[in-house]
Amino acid sequence: MTGYILKRLLAAIPVLIGLSIIVFLIMALIPGDPAQAILGNFATPENIARVNRELGLDKSLPEQYFIWIFNVLQGDFGRSYILNRPVLDEILDRFGATLILAGTALVLCSIFGILAGIASAVRQFGWTDRLVTLVVLIGISLPSFFLGLLLILLFAVQWRVLPASGMFAVYGGGDLPDLLYHLILPAVTLAVVATGVVARLTRAAMLEVLRQDFVRTARAKGLDENTVIYKHALKAAMVSVVPVIGIQAGFVLGGAVYIETVFQWPGIGAMLVKAISTRDILLVQGGVLIVAAAYVFVNLLADVVQSLLDPRLKT
Amino acid sequence: MHKLIKGIAAIVLTAGVAAGLMSYAVAQTPPNVLVVGQIAEPQSLDPQHVSAVNDFRILMNVYDGLVRYKDGTLEVEPALATDWSISEDGTEYTFNLREGVTFHDGSPFNAEAVVFNFERMIQEDHPYHTGTFPLSFYFSAVTSVEAVDDMTVKFTLNEPFAPFLSNLAYPAGLIVSKAAVEEHGEDFDRNPSGTGAFKFVEWQSNTRVVVDRFEDYWDGAAPLDAVVYRPITDANTRVAEMLSGGIDVMVEVPPDNVSTFADDPAFTLYEEAGPHLWFLILNAKEGPFADMRVRQAANYAVNKEALVENVLQGTATVAAGPTPPAFNWAYNEELDPYPYDPDRARELLAEAGAEGAELTFYVTEGGSGMLDPVAMGTAIQADLEAVGLDVTIETYEWNTFLGIVNPGLEGKADMAEMAWMTNSPDTLPYLALRTEAWPDQGGFNSGYYSNPEVDALLQQARTSTDQAERAELYKEMQAIVYEEAPWLFVANWKQNAVTTANVENFSLQPSFFLMLQDVAKPN
Amino acid sequence: MSAADTTMSAEVDADAPPARPTAWQLLMNNTLAAAGFWIMAVIVALCILEPILPLPDPDVTSLAERLAPVFSEGHLLGTDHLGRDILARLFSGMRVSLVVGVTASVIAAFFGSLIGLIAGYARGRVDNILMRGIDMLMAFPYILLALAIVAALGPGLLNALYAIAVVNIPFFARNIRGITVGLAGREFVDAARLSGKGHISIVLTEILPNVLPVIVITMSTTVGWMILETAGLSFLGLGAQPPQADLGSMLGEGRSLLFTAPMVSIIPGVMVFIIVMSINLLGDGVRDALDPRLRAGALARPMAVTKIDRKAAPKSDDKSALVVTDLETSFEGTKGTTPAVKGISFSLDKGECLGLIGESGSGKSVTALSLLGLVASPPGIITGGTVAIDGQDVFGMREQEIVALRGRKVAYVFQDPLTTLHPLFTVGDQVVEAVQAHQKISKSDAWAKMLDLFRAVRIPDPEQRANAYPHEMSGGQRQRVGIAMALANDPEIIIADEPTTALDVTVQAEILALLQNLRKERGLALLFITHDFGVVAEICDRVAVMRFGEVVEAGDTMKVLSNPQHDYTKRLIACVPKPGQGRQFLDDVRKLAAETQNG
Q: What is the 3-state secondary structure (H, E, C) of B251-291?
A: ECCCHHHHHHHHCCCCEEEEEEECCEEEEEEECCCCCHHHC
A262 and A116 in a common domain = yes
Same-domain status, A46 and A102: no
Is the confidence at residue C60, as pLDDT, over 60? yes
Q: What is the reported pTM? A: 0.78
Indicate the SS3 state at residue C406: strand
Given A73, A106, A127, the domain boundary residue is A73
> Is pLDDT larger for residue A154 or for residue C588?
A154
B405 to chain A: nearest residue by CA?
A32
Identify which of B49, B367, B442 has the shortest CB distance to residue A44: B442
Query: Cα angle vertex B196, ends B193, B198, to 5°?
Result: 85
| pLDDT attached to residue C19 | 52
Q: How many structural domains compose chain A?
A: 2
Query: Which residues 157-196 in chain C show a CB within 8 A of chain A?
Result: none
> In angstroms, rounded to a whole number, what is the distance separating the alpha carbons of residues C338 and C243?
61
Does the CB of A160 have a partner CB in chain C at under 8 Å?
Answer: no
A231, A246, A266: which is the final residue of a domain? A266
CB-count burial class (<10 Å; 0-12, 13-18, 19+) for C200: exposed
CB atoms within 10 A of CB B518: 16
Express each pLDDT in C120-134 by its tens digit. 888 888 888 888 888
How high is the pLDDT of residue C17?
A: 44
B246–A165 C-beta distance less than 8 A: yes
Alpha carbons A21 and A13: distance in angstroms, whole number: 12
Q: Judge whether A69 lies within some domain.
A: yes
Query: Do A122 and A191 fall within a single domain?
Result: yes
Contacts of A128 in chain C (CB under 8 A): none
Mean pLDDT highest for which of A37-46, A77-86, B477-486, C53-62?
B477-486
Cα–chain center distance at A238? 21
Instruction: Calculate the CA dihedral of residues C533, C536, C542, C543 and round it to 10 degrees.
Output: -40
Q: Residue count of chain A, please give it.
A: 315
Instruction: Write the CB contacts of C148 (distance below 8 Å, at least 6 apart in sequence).
Output: A23, A26, A27, A30, A276
* Whole-number average pLDDT of chain B: 87
Overall average pLDDT of the B221-242 stretch: 86
Whether B236 has its CB under 8 Å from any CB of chain C: the answer is yes
Average pLDDT rounded to a whole number, residues B464-476: 88
Q: Report how many Cβ contacts below 8 Å link chain B to chain C.
A: 78
Q: Classify residue B1 as exposed, middle or buried by CB count within 10 Å of its CB (0-12, 13-18, 19+).
A: middle
Distance CA C454, CA C443 (A): 16
Interface touch A27/C277, C-beta < 8 Å: no
Residue B68 has a pLDDT of: 93
Q: Answer yes or no: do A170 and B206 touch at CB < 8 A.
A: no
Fold of B64-186: Dipeptide-binding Protein; domain 1 (3.90.76)
Q: What share of chain B is helix, strand, coil (3-state, %, to 5)?
A: 35, 25, 40
- A305 within a domain of the structure (yes/no): no
Task: For chain B, say whether C61 makes contact (Cβ under 8 Å).
Answer: yes
Are residues A251 and A135 part of one domain? yes
Question: Which run of H or of E encompasses C475?
Answer: helix C475-487
Q: Which residues of A touch B230 (CB under 8 A)?
A: 166, 170
Q: Which of A18, A208, A288 sits opposite C132 (nearest CB)?
A: A18
Could you tell me if C336 and C342 are in contact, meaning their C-beta atoms sit under 8 angstroms apart? no
> Could you tell me where in chain C the CATH 1.10.3720.10 domains are found?
26-53+102-294
- Strands B276-282 and B358-364 come out as unpaired
Shortest CA distance from C237: residue in chain B: B365
Of C286, C287, C284, C279, which is closest to residue C97 (Cα–Cα)? C279
What pLDDT sits at residue B21?
A: 42
Note whether C420 contacts A: Cβ–Cβ < 8 A: yes
Query: Which residues of A, range 272-291, sit inside 8 Å of C by Cβ?
Result: 272-273, 276-277, 288, 291
Better-predicted residue by pLDDT, A107 or C259? A107
Q: Could you tell me the CA-to-CA distances from A169 to B29, B41, C599 in Å, in that order?
A: 9, 17, 80
A176 touches chain C (CB under 8 A): no
Collapsed DSSP state (helix, strand, coil) of residue C36: helix
- Tell whether A28 is covered by a domain: yes
- Under an 8 A CB cutoff, do B16 and A184 touch? yes
Q: How far A88 CA lies from chain C's nearest CA (Å)? A: 19
CB C312 within 8 A of CB C384: yes
Q: Which CATH architecture has domain C26-53+102-294?
A: Orthogonal Bundle (1.10)
3-state SS assignment for residue B2: helix
d(CA A270, CA A259): 9
User: What does the pLDDT read at residue C338?
Assistant: 84
- For residue A148, which residues of chain B lie inside 8 Å, CB to CB? none
DSSP assignment of A254-273 equals HHHHHHHHHHT--SHHHHHH
In angstroms, how far is the first alpha carbon of chain B from the final one? 55
Query: Under an 8 A CB cutoff, do C151 and A277 touch?
Result: yes
pLDDT at C12 (0 to 100): 38
| Residues near C541 by beta carbon (within 8 Å), at least 6 away in sequence | C352, C353, C354, C556, C557
Look at residue A257 and tell me if it is in a domain.
yes
In chain A, residues with a C-beta closer than 8 Å to the C-beta of B35 are 170-171
Mean per-residue pLDDT, B491-512: 90
On the question of pLDDT at B181 being above 50, the answer is: yes
Cα of A62 to nearest chain B Cα, Å: 22
Q: Give the C-alpha separation, C140 to A254, whole Å.
A: 8
Predicted pLDDT of residue B269: 93
pLDDT at C31 over 80: no
- On whether both A238 and A188 belong to a single domain, the answer is yes
d(CA A218, CA B170) in angstroms, rounded, equals: 80
Of residues A68 and B2, the one with the higher pLDDT is A68
For residue C215, what pLDDT is reported? 86
Chain C residue nearest residue A200, CA to CA: C284
C-alpha span between B243 and B261 (Å, rounded)? 9
Contact of B4 with chain A, judged by CB distance below 8 Å, is answered with: no
Looking at every residue in chain A, the average pLDDT score rounds to 82
Are residues A131 and A241 part of one domain? yes
- The pLDDT > 90 percentage for chain C reads 5
Choose among C591, A174, C95, C537: nearest CA to B210: A174
Q: pLDDT value at position C595?
A: 56
Backbone angles phi, psi at C393, to 5 degrees: -75, 110
* Chain C residues whose beta carbon lies within 8 Å of the beta carbon of residue B377: 242
**CA-nearest residue of chain C to B257?**
C260
Closest among A111, A117, A151 to A135, alpha carbons compared: A117
User: Within 13 A of C455's CA, how many CA atoms are on the CB side?
Assistant: 7
**B375 in contact with C, Cβ within 8 Å:** yes
Q: Is residue A67 part of a domain?
A: yes
Number of H helices, E strands in chain A: 13, 0
Chain A residue closest in CA terms to C276: A141
Q: What is the mean pLDDT of residues C213-241?
A: 79
Rg of chain B over CA atoms, in angstroms? 25
Neighbours of chain C (3+ CB pairs under 8 A): A, B
Dihedral (Cα; A297, A301, A306, A312), 10-degree rounding = 80
pLDDT in tens, B316-342: 999 988 999 888 888 888 889 999 999
Give chain A positions within 8 Å (CB) of B444: 41, 44
A121 lies in the same domain as A245? yes
| φ/ψ of residue B447, rounded to 5 | -100, 0
A54, B111, B129 from B125: Cα distances, Å: 10, 21, 7
CA-nearest of B231, B228, B200, B235 to B41 is B231
A139 interfaces chain C, CB cutoff of 8 Å: no
Q: Measured in whole angstroms, how far is the alpha carbon of residue C391 from the centre of its chain? A: 38
CATH number for domain B1-62+196-248+503-523, candidates 3.20.20.70, 3.40.190.10, 3.40.50.1370, 3.30.565.10? 3.40.190.10
Per-chain mean pLDDT for chain C: 81
**Contact with chain A for residue B24, Cβ under 8 A:** yes
Residue range A132-177, pLDDT digits in tens: 888 888 888 888 888 888 888 888 777 878 887 778 776 556 678 8
Residues 26-65 of A with CB under 8 A from C: 26-27, 29-30
Per the CB < 8 A criterion, the answer to whether C48 and C291 are in contact is: no
For an interface test with C, which of B395, B404, B490 has the most C Cβ atoms less than 10 Å from its Cβ? B395
d(CA B232, CA B58): 15
At the top level of CATH, the class of C410-597 is alpha beta
pLDDT for the residue numbered C592: 59
**Poorest-pLDDT segment among A169-178, B149-158, B380-389:** A169-178
B394 touches chain A (CB under 8 A): no
d(CA B486, CA B434): 11
C87 CB within 8 Å of a chain A CB:
no
Q: Which of residues 420-449 of B touch C (CB under 8 A)?
A: none
Radius of gyration (C-alpha) of chain A in whole angstroms: 23
- Cα(C238)–Cα(C156) distance, integer angstroms: 6
**Domain locations in chain B?**
1-62+196-248+503-523, 64-186, 276-493
Residue A12 belongs to domain spanning:
2-73
For B379, the closest of C82, C241, C256 (CB atoms) is: C82
C residues 484-503 lying closer than 8 A (beta carbon) to A: 485, 488-489
Correct CATH for B276-493 of 3.40.50.620, 3.40.50.300, 3.40.50.9100, 3.10.105.10: 3.10.105.10
Nearest CB among C61, C241, C257 relative to B256 is that of C257
Residues 151-170 of C with CB under 8 A from B: 151, 154-156
